[in-house]
Amino acid sequence: MNLKKAGVIGVILWVIIFLEVSLLNFTLISMGEALRYSIHYIFLALITIIGCNYYFNKTKERKAKKKAKEKIFANPMEGIKAGVIFIATGIILDVIVTVPFFMQFDYTSFFMDYTLLIGYLEILIIGGIIGAVKEKRGAGYYKIKKK
């Protein structure tokens, strides 16, 4: 598990999702809530697929291979773990930024909203699927030895 890479991707995903939700809420305010959430979940799926693909990307593989202790292969559980880190990063940023500055209700109401929980579930499912797809293709990354 590459926590640093997953955390950075989680921050980037949170920023993109924050901007996307803000844009949808302000531009499609006259549309029904169901339509807005449908569009959001489609964007969320695309954003998550891109984030998971980047997480499993073989960046700097040659350098890492020389220093590597072991290769971590992509698999569904690795994808779900990455999704958990993406979600945890988003929750931390929501606690620090979203709820205090942009929401007019308390933390419990925000985090127990079923639409948010569906989004979390979507991220975990997509992470597992991308991990499974990447596993079939032999993707993975190298775990670097600590000095």
Q: Is 63 exposed, middle or buried (0-12, 13-18, 19+ CB in 10 A)?
A: exposed
* Residue 123 banded pLDDT, cuts 50, 70, 90: very high
How much is the pLDDT for 57? 78
Whole-angstrom CA distances from 22 to 8, 107, 110 are 21, 19, 15
Closest to 127 (Cα-Cα) out of 75, 88, 89, 83: 83
Q: Where are the alpha helices (DSSP H) in the chain?
A: 3-27, 33-55, 61-67, 76-93, 99-102, 107-111, 114-136
Q: Render pLDDT for 3-13 as a digit per residue (tens, 0 to 9).
A: 888 999 999 99
pLDDT, mean of residues 15-40 = 85
The predicted model gives 39-56 an average pLDDT of 93
* Residue 56 scores a pLDDT above 90: no
How far apart (Å, rounded) are the C-alpha atoms in residues 56 and 25? 32
What would the pLDDT profile of 59-98 be if each residue is shown by its tens digit?
555 455 555 555 566 788 989 999 999 999 999 999 999 9
